[in-house]
Amino acid sequence: MNKILLALALCVTLSACNDKKSKTEPVDIVSIKTAQHINIPGTRIYIIPPVGYKTANGFTGLQKGNNAYIQMYDLVGGNFNTNAATFTKKSFEKQGAQVFEFKDMTVNNYPARYVSMQGEKNSKAISIVFGDTTFSVMIMAMYPATDDKAADDIKKAFATIYYDKDLKVDPFASAFFKLNDSVSTFKFAKSASGFFVYTLNGENKKSLGDDPFVNVTPLPKDTSMTARSISEMFVTKLAQYGFTTQQVKNPSYAPVNGLPAFESEVYGSLNGKKCLIYQLAVTTTDKAVIIQGIVKSDFENQLAEIKKLARTIQLK
């Protein structure tokens, strides 16, 4: 999976500093839902797929073979302004991408940002983020760098994007993992944008503050990714948001329920407060899930409960 797109995915659920908006004139998307539109399972997003693209079974979105995909994140309860702050030409270039086009625009009157870029030699990417103060959608497409037709097909599909705020969705409709939260005090609380959040007793608070919680993130996997590299990338990204690593304890490569895995406890501080980040990443040939528990107090007891939940992981 393209590392820049993975970094984008991580930004969906993490806050970041603001940046200036592009001065490019807006180019708007105006669409209506038609019989040709399909709903992306687990989201409120509708789109007319490009020819040859099917609903993916390893992530939320669409896929054409092994070379092109459109991944979608629907963050209900999120804030477009917060997520758009990291969606800037400057931030992409800082990660090593060549930006071909960057625009502020709208999608059916929702403010949006669009980028076309190249972060790796053999692939190019097109991405868009839009929403308001109650939700934020990020759609990321990757295709072979020499395939101009794929780029045109993706752009035409993007022009059909339709969002239905009133649609009721099954949060696990596209999930390819299972956890048994009956064995732990951490229960499923909510899902957003393909991420799943577990809290103490399943409390669904608007803000968790210093409460412990668990994030579960399903990801597509390519041959360059291992359970350890995924885990390390998530820790590295957290460092950009105030987490300082002081000590890594109990690293383990032991399989979990027959799955290749990497487990670790990362002790440090988050914005000046003591913090423990527990991580368990498991993989198959084309899928990965990372479970990330964040604890700021009562480390021993909360860690034990998080491990009880994490170690029930199974992939479909």
179-184 own/partner pairs: CB under 8 Å, 24+ apart: 179/216, 179/309, 179/310, 179/312, 179/313, 179/314, 180/309, 180/312, 181/309, 181/312, 183/308, 183/309, 183/312, 184/305, 184/306, 184/308, 184/309
**239-290 pLDDT per residue, tens:** 877 888 889 999 999 999 999 999 999 999 988 889 999 999 999 988 899 9
Class of domain 3-163: alpha beta
Res 85: pLDDT: 86
The DSSP bridge pattern shows strands 54-55 and 61-64 to be antiparallel
Global model pTM greater than 0.75: no
Radius of gyration of the chain, Cα coordinates, nearest whole angstrom: 19
Residue 71 and residue 142: Cα distance in Å, rounded?
9
What ranges do the domains of the chain cover?
3-163, 177-315
* CATH classification code of 177-315: 3.40.1000.10
Same fold, 3-163 and 177-315: yes
Q: Which range (12-26, 131-145, 192-206, 258-272) has the least confidence?
A: 12-26
pLDDT band at 11 (very low <50, low <70, confident <90, very high): low
Residue 102 and residue 114: Cα distance in Å, rounded?
6
14 secondary structure, DSSP code: S
